[in-house]
């Protein structure tokens, strides 16, 4: 019988960059949001997807349902805000990050303001209807990061609208 020597690790110094080993990056979570956008695309909805994350855990998902529900407010962000608040048991999304494949519109930016979400990460910019065009202010404590998987997110939207135009 072979026995392995006992290894003492109490004096081992862990590398300071150990956190860098986590697979949970902005790209990782944006890919999850992109999966939601693809689900919207398959339903004939504008392909925008969202995930809400707290402590590296997805607590809510959403995608556009405006056509399905015949409701102009059924944007992906609105679906995810409601689901996340339900999961957390309160209306505020403190310490949460929302990953969105497209820059939020001013309606969704307003809802995100009121939710007091900590961070928003989006993929493609929306120069036509994005909140930044209108100067909408987010909550002062909300961090915003743009351009994560921007090309992939933008290409899905372009493909959707090209196909939509060709059908009409």
Question: For residues 99-135, b (16+ Cβ closer than 10 Å) or e, as one string?
Answer: bbbbbbbebbbebbbebbbbbbbbbbbbeeebbbeee
CA distance 85 to 114: 12
Token output for 31: 């890919």
β partners of residue 50: 62, 100
Is 77 designated active site?
yes
CA distance 152 to 130: 18
105 known ligand binder: yes
Options 77, 143, 155, 163, the catalytic residue: 77
The dihedrals phi and psi of 60, each to the nearest 5 degrees, come to -155, 150
- Does the annotation flag 139 for ligand binding? no
Enumerate the active-site residues.
77
- Residues at the binding site are 75, 105, 108
- Residues at the binding site for Zn(2+) are 75, 105, 108
């Amino acid at each position: 019988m072979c026995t392995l020597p006992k290894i003492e690790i109490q004096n081992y110094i862990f590398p300071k960059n150990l956190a860098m080993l986590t697979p949970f990056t902005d790209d990782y979570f944006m890919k999850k949001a992109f999966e939601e956008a693809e689900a919207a695309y398959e339903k004939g909805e504008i392909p925008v997807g969202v995930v809400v994350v707290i402590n590296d855990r997805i607590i809510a998902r959403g995608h556009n349902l405006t056509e399905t529900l015949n409701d102009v407010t059924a944007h992906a962000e609105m679906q995810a805000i409601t689901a996340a608040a339900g999961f957390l048991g309160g209306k505020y999304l403190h310490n949460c990050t929302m990953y969105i494949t497209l820059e939020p519109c001013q309606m969704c930016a307003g809802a995100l303001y009121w939710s007091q979400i900590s961070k928003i990460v989006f993929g493609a910019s929306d120069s036509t209807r994005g909140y930044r065009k209108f100067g909408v202010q987010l909550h002062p404590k909300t961090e915003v990061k743009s351009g994560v998987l921007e090309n992939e997110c933008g290409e899905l939207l372009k493909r959707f609208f090209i196909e939509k135009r060709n059908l009409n």
